[in-house]
Amino acid sequence: MAKGYWVGSYRSISDPEQLAAYNELAGPAVQAGGGRLLSRGVRVVAHDAGIAERTVLIEFDSFDQAVAARESKAYQEALAALSDGVERDFRIIEGID
């Protein structure tokens, strides 16, 4: 079964306190959903139309598990805490088996 991945690139952070509140809730929500943090806020080299900003990569055992974790009540609470504190590009992608 192909794995699922969350990929988030933060274009801007307008409220660091909202981001901190989100991180406090999102970490446990992701773990409860079976996610494993692979990369967060480390070095980025952007090419083409990419942006060299904070990027997060989280792995799940399956694409469906990744979608379910995003839709979970716990993660929705994290998103509510984040509100408009950031502008980000967030995707759920299916890995290659």
Tens of pLDDT along the chain (97 residues) come to 899 999 999 999 999 999 999 999 999 999 999 999 999 878 888 899 877 888 999 999 999 999 999 999 999 999 999 999 999 999 999 999 8
**Does 3.90.1150.10 match the CATH number of domain 4-94?**
no
A 10 A CB-CB count for 34 gives 16
pLDDT on residue 43: 86
Could you tell me whether strands 55-60 and 4-13 are parallel, antiparallel, or unpaired per DSSP bridges?
Answer: antiparallel
pLDDT on residue 41: 78
Sign of the alpha-carbon torsion through 7, 11, 16, 22: negative
What's this model's pTM, rounded to 2 decimal places?
A: 0.91
pLDDT on residue 52: 83
